């Protein structure tokens, strides 16, 4: 009897050990799955808000004689190298006119002459630029190159690539930025407007950047869809508010950090639609009517002030009633408020 008990006990211990091992293995697999999911989400959505060019301040000082001379010297590099995509002269010139000019001189200067960018586009774009691998800093060059059908096609290849295009140490996806740069190609971006319209979504950077592209190309169709995305986000934030206890001071909308960033991007997209956005701006106007929490901490959505002012109408009126939109840095240029 005692021997039988020992056998049963040993069998039970073995079963427990196997169960414990399985539990540990399951935990490790789940942890790795979450790590992969978090890494993928960080790549796709971890980057901060990408501002469209209309948000970039135009205040700058004229370039000095020394800075203009340096611009000319870099521009002349093309005369010393063959016009091929992979050569040191063209590569450095690309970087210089994209971003190095900012750090080569004193701060606050205007960008180099548009003529330099026109000549550079005449060399880079026929070679298929931008194409992989193109670093984000270099991709900033598209903000200053003159729009063209060829540049729009090259950007569209990046913007609608079937897989993430990581850049930088954190490997953020480059496709959302490419979509916003494509939106700034004006009429040359219209062939991709319908596709962008079908990809509008409030929960990913690909979805919000698609909203910006659609707003720039098919604004009448895009504006109501962007408004619907804003409404869905606001409703989810309101449901979250009702689940959270301890928030004082009246009604609040609660946005998690990523949600707040997507909200800002959708607001920029709606503002990009121009006059077509005004009849659909009510969801944005409601944001000014209640306190907001971003990252579960009290914060006023000052980023939205410029978007509301650009849309005009009721959105601008709602923003004008918000005290945080009346600071000098956020006051509208057209005197609407």
Instruction: Give 73-124 as a DSSP string.
Output: HHHGGGGGS-S-SS-HHHHHHHHIIIIIHHHHS-TTBPPPPHHHHHHHHHHH
Query: Is-contact 309 270, C-beta < 8 A?
Result: no
Query: Is the pLDDT score of 28 beyond 80?
Result: no
Query: Is the pLDDT score of 225 beyond 90?
Result: yes
Query: Is the pLDDT score of 286 beyond 60?
Result: yes
Per-residue confidence (pLDDT) for residue 34, from 0 to 100: 46
Give how far Cα 107 sits from Cα of 75, 119, 184, 191, 233, Å. Answer: 21, 25, 26, 39, 39
- Tell which wins on pLDDT, 330 or 19: 19
- Please tell me the distance from the alpha carbon of residue 134 to that of residue 136, in angstroms, as a whole number: 7
- Tell which wins on pLDDT, 238 or 306: 306
Confidence of residue 333 (pLDDT cuts 50, 70, 90): very low
For residue 173 the two structure tokens come to 């996806």
Give this prediction's pTM: 0.80
Per-residue confidence (pLDDT) for residue 330, from 0 to 100: 45
- Tell which wins on pLDDT, 184 or 49: 184
Per-residue confidence (pLDDT) for residue 293, from 0 to 100: 58
Residue-averaged pLDDT of the chain: 80
Within 10 Å of residue 10's Cβ, how many Cβ atoms? 10
> Looking at residue 147, what DSSP letter applies?
P
For residue 264 the two structure tokens come to 């800002």
Query: Is the pLDDT score of 332 beyond 50?
Result: no
Per-residue confidence (pLDDT) for residue 15, from 0 to 100: 65
Q: How confident is the model over 248-277, as pLDDT tens digits?
A: 544 555 677 778 888 899 999 999 999 999
Query: Is the pLDDT score of 149 beyond 70?
Result: yes
- Tell which wins on pLDDT, 201 or 237: 201
Please tell me the total number of residues recorded for the chain in this structure.
Answer: 337
Per-residue confidence (pLDDT) for residue 137, from 0 to 100: 81
Query: Is the pLDDT score of 56 beyond 90?
Result: no
Per-residue confidence (pLDDT) for residue 253, from 0 to 100: 58
For residue 308 the two structure tokens come to 């509301």
Query: Is the pLDDT score of 334 beyond 60?
Result: no
Chain centroid to Cα 326, Å, comes to 26
Query: Is the pLDDT score of 296 beyond 80?
Result: no
- Please tell me the distance from the alpha carbon of residue 251 to that of residue 248, in angstroms, as a whole number: 8
- Mean local confidence (pLDDT), 202-229: 95
- Rounded percentage of the chain residues whose pLDDT exceeds 90: 35
Per-residue confidence (pLDDT) for residue 238, from 0 to 100: 74
Query: Is the pLDDT score of 167 beyond 90?
Result: no
- CA dihedral for 13, 14, 17, 18, sign (positive or negative): negative
Per-residue confidence (pLDDT) for residue 303, from 0 to 100: 86
Query: Is-contact 226 212, C-beta < 8 A?
Result: no
Confidence of residue 106 (pLDDT cuts 50, 70, 90): low
Beta bridge mates, 298: 293
Confidence of residue 80 (pLDDT cuts 50, 70, 90): low
Confidence of residue 211 (pLDDT cuts 50, 70, 90): very high
- Mean local confidence (pLDDT), 217-231: 95
Contacts of 272 (CB under 8 A, 6+ apart): 52, 54, 183, 212, 215, 216, 219
Query: Is the pLDDT score of 246 beyond 60?
Result: no
Residue closest to 179 by CA, chosen among 171, 199, 170, 241? 199
Per-residue confidence (pLDDT) for residue 252, from 0 to 100: 55
Task: Give me the DSSP letters along 151-177.
Answer: HHHHHHHHHT-SS--EETTTTEESHHH
- Please tell me the distance from the alpha carbon of residue 209 to that of residue 287, in angstroms, as a whole number: 21
Give the burial class of 247: count Cβ atoms within 10 A of its Cβ; 0-12 exposed, 13-18 middle, 19 or more buried.
Answer: middle
Query: Is-contact 146 171, C-beta < 8 A?
Result: no
């Amino acid at each position: 009897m005692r021997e039988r008990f020992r056998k049963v006990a040993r069998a039970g211990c073995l079963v427990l050990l196997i169960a414990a091992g399985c539990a540990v293995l399951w935990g490790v697999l789940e942890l790795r799955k979450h790590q992969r999911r978090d890494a993928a989400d960080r790549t796709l959505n971890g980057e901060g808000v990408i501002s469209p060019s209309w948000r970039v301040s135009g205040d700058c000082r004229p370039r000095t004689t020394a800075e203009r001379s340096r611009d000319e010297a870099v521009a002349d590099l093309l005369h010393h190298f063959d016009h091929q995509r992979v050569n040191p002269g063209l590569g450095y010139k690309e970087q210089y006119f994209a971003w190095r000019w900012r750090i080569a001189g004193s701060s606050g200067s205007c960008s180099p002459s548009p003529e330099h960018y026109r000549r550079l586009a005449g060399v880079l774009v026929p070679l298929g630029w931008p194409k992989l691998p193109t670093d984000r800093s270099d991709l900033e060059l598209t903000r200053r190159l003159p729009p063209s059908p060829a540049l729009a096609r090259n950007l569209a290849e990046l913007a609608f690539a079937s897989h993430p295009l990581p850049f930088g140490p954190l490997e953020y996806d480059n496709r959302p930025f490419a979509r916003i740069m494509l939106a700034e190609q004006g009429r040359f971006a219209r062939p991709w407007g319908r596709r962008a319209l079908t990809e509008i979504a409030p929960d990913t950077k690909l979805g919000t950047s698609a909203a910006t592209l659609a707003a720039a190309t098919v604004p009448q169709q895009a504006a109501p869809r962007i408004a619907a995305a804003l409404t869905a986000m606001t409703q989810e934030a309101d449901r979250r508010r009702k689940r959270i206890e301890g928030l004082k001071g009246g009604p609040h909308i609660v946005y998690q950090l990523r949600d707040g960033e997507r909200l800002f991007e959708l607001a920029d997209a709606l503002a990009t639609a121009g006059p077509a956005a005004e009849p659909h701006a009510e969801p944005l106007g409601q944001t000014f009517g209640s306190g907001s929490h971003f990252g579960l901490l009290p914060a006023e959505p000052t980023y939205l002030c410029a978007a509301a002012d650009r849309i005009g109408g009721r959105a601008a009126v709602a923003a004008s009633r918000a005290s945080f939109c009346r600071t000098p840095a956020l006051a509208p240029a057209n005197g609407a408020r």
